């Protein structure tokens, strides 16, 4: 039997998603909890590997098991053995050809940026921070230049292992909720550090260092050295993953919960 899980986690205390020999990753924690509940070793495959300090609202994983248990039992049982910073939201049986990564046609990342003069004392590790006033309209205009099928080489980390820098960006919205700026990016897939690099460059536009058209110039140039530095991991969330309806998974939008934060 193949089972899909939706997992949320606070990545602040983890070394990223992917399993490491020294442990301390989200995958390590999830597989250890699964082994304790199932009584056997279980390997999970995720929709998108997140870096150290990055969070998830709707990470999706799959695993294979010979055990036949009610889905609610998988959720409650795994959660019993997980650390408090990780929780399974739902479990669902899927067809054998379902693959958490390869079957996905879209991923939605959300970045929360606290925009005020002083840093947060209540949400450390959960939001990014910029103490300069930011021009929301300019940032929104720059974000719209990202839409469509684009070469995102200018926003790609040097260590990125993706086969191609060309991705289809379907959404690049920025909204303000009080002191919080919410960046929402939805695309076919993302390059390593792509969202954090996009946020950094859009913040430059918001500060007035460059006009909105600069974002288009970066796309055309395709040179990472010309874009802004990589922004902090703290405010980044893998918000949702989208799959074809044939797999019968909950709609991705159901994972788009806004974490508790300033202005919420």
Cα–Cα distance for residue pair 217/223, rounded to 1 Å: 10
Instruction: Give the β-pairing of 45-46 and 2-9.
Output: unpaired
How far is it, in rounded angstroms, from Cα 32 to Cα 38?
A: 10
Interatomic CA distance for residues 176 and 183, integer angstroms: 9
pTM score, two decimals? Answer: 0.93
The 10s digit of each residue's pLDDT in 17-47 is 999 888 899 999 999 999 999 999 999 999 9
Q: What is the mean pLDDT of residues 197-204?
A: 98
Annotated catalytic residue 28: no
Residue 166 has a pLDDT of 97
Given the residues 51, 135, 151, 184, select the one marked as catalytic.
51
d(CA 55, CA 75): 19
Alpha helices in the chain (DSSP H): 26-38, 71-81, 136-144, 194-207, 213-221
Three-class DSSP category at 81: helix
Instruction: Compute the distance between CA of residue 188 and CA of residue 179 in angstroms, rounded to an integer.
Output: 30
Q: Is 203 exposed, middle or buried (0-12, 13-18, 19+ CB in 10 A)?
A: buried
- CA 135 – CA 182 distance, rounded (Å): 13
Backbone angles phi, psi at 256, to 5 degrees: -80, 60
- Are the C-beta atoms of residues 227 and 47 closer than 8 Å to each other? no
- Rounded Cα distance between 98 and 38, Å, is 21
Task: Give the model's confidence band at 260: pLDDT under 50 very low, under 70 low, under 90 confident, else very high.
Answer: very low
């Amino acid at each position: 039997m193949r089972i899909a899980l939706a997992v949320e986690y606070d990545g602040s205390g983890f070394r990223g998603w992917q399993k490491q020999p020294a442990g301390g990753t989200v995958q390590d924690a999830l597989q250890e909890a699964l082994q304790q509940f199932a009584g056997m070793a279980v390997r999970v495959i995720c929709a998108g590997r997140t870096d150290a300090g990055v969070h998830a609202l709707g990470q999706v994983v799959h695993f294979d098991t010979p055990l036949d248990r009610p889905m609610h039992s998988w959720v409650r049982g795994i959660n019993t053995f997980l650390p408090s910073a990780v929780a399974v939201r739902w479990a669902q049986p899927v067809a054998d050809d379902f693959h958490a990564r390869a079957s996905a046609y879209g991923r939605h990342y959300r970045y929360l940026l606290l925009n005020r003069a002083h840093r947060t004392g209540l949400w450390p590790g959960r939001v990014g921070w910029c103490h300069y006033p930011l021009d929301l309209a300019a940032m929104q205009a720059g974000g719209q230049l990202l839409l469509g099928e684009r070469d995102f080489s200018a926003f790609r980390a040097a260590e990125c292992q993706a086969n191609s820098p060309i991705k289809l960006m379907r959404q690049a919205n920025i909204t303000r909720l009080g002191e919080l700026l919410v960046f929402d990016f939805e695309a076919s897939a993302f390059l390593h550090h792509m969202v954090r690099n996009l946020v950094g460059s859009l913040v430059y536009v918001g500060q007035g260092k460059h006009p909105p058209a600069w974002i288009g110039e970066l796309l055309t140039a395709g040179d990472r050295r010309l874009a802004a530095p990589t922004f902090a991991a703290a405010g980044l969330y893998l918000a949702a993953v989208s799959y074809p309806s044939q797999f019968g998974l909950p709609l991705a939008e159901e994972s788009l919960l806004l974490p508790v934060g300033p202005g919420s």
